[in-house]
Amino acid sequence: MLLAIDIGGTKIAAAWVENGQVIERRQQPMATDPVGFMEVIGQLVLGWPAPEQVAVAATGYINDGKVHSVNQEIIAFWDGFPLADRLTERFACPLILMNDGQAAAWGEYQARQTTVSQNSPDNLLFITLSTGVGGGLVLDRQLRIGPHGLAGHVGHTTVSCQPTDDDLRCGCGRQSCLEKIASGTALGRQASAMFGRTMSSAELFSLALTDPRAEAIIDNAAKAVAEAISNLHMTLDLSEIVIGGSVGLADGMLHRIRLALANAPNLMQVPVSAAMLGPDAGLIGIMQLATNVENSVENSVENS
């Protein structure tokens, strides 16, 4: 039995996998402290057989089996938390651990290799618009992780678009990060400031159907994503951009990003598609990496 886990800023998903097939998938809210976190892990696997292997995709950058939030406001205890050690102690079996955006990029890249109707891209950028904004890069058919585990952290590249509430300061220490405009957290924050009451990103999307002010917040976020895509395309020369995460997959978001990108010069046009694996890109990606650790991965943390 392979246990695949995807840890985000809002939720943790887990899958019981046998011979590459998901037997059962479960989801729980993400915890706010290490003790609560291990309890949630326990609840997720309740009644499942002991795993022979654990595959973990986690938000944050990973170094030496420890996780660090780039934006400390998202998971405060992700400050060098020894995730690989904690899970190895808990499950006593080999474990692989990777950033969630990187795992998702690999999942989406693989999904495009097996879909005959598509030209499989050699250079793919995955962007997740979720609690934060993350991502992953496959370049020349190789998943990039980087010497600091940072490859694909596009949420902390800056954009010239400004958040509608003018709150520029990002929890990573910079100003004007993409994450500050286009994450679910940022959309909820901008909506709350605009409408004078606490609003979630999902509520904002519903309101945008009837209220142009709500629509403007989402459009501005889409413009910021398109700006980041143009920047990254001119840096890396990409074949395809894949958008995932609950915000990225929310109704109309992909369309808005495409419209915004269409205003960029021709050279900066690059196909943008939705995650074929939907919200499970990270979960499926890490599951594939665990079952098929080819030499396509530059390096990943492996504890055994």
Mark residues 8-27: x for contact with Zn ion by CB under 5 A, - for none: --------------------
Question: Which tokens sit at 76?
Answer: 């405060």
Any contact of residue 152 with ligand ADP (CB under 6 A)?
A: no
Stretch that binds Zn ion, among 58-66, 148-156, 202-210, 277-285 (CB under 5 A): 148-156
Q: Using the rule CB under 6 A, which residue among 28, 200, 273, 303 binds ligand ADP?
A: 200
Q: How far is the CB of 201 from ligand ADP (least distance, A)?
A: 3
Q: How far is the CB of 248 from Zn ion (least distance, A)?
A: 18
Task: Report strand pairing: 124-129 vs 240-244.
Answer: parallel
Any contact of residue 245 with ligand ADP (CB under 6 A)?
A: yes
* CA-angle at 180, arms to 179 and 181, nearest 5°: 90
Q: How far is the CB of 268 from ligand ADP (least distance, A)?
A: 26
Q: Are 151 and 50 spatial neighbours (Cβ–Cβ below 8 Å)?
A: no
Q: Which is nearer to Zn ion, 3 or 172 (CB)?
A: 172
* CA-angle at 188, arms to 185 and 191, nearest 5°: 150
How far, in Å, CA of 54 to CA of 81, rounded?
A: 18
Any contact of residue 26 with ligand ADP (CB under 6 A)?
A: no
Q: What is the DSSP code string of 223-280?
A: HHHHHHHHHHHHHH--SEEEEEHHHHTSTTHHHHHHHHHHTS-GGG---EEE-TTGGG
Number of residues that bind ligand ADP (CB under 6 A): 17
Under the rule (CB under 6 A), what is the footprint of ligand ADP? 8-11, 130-131, 184-185, 188, 200-202, 205, 245-247, 250
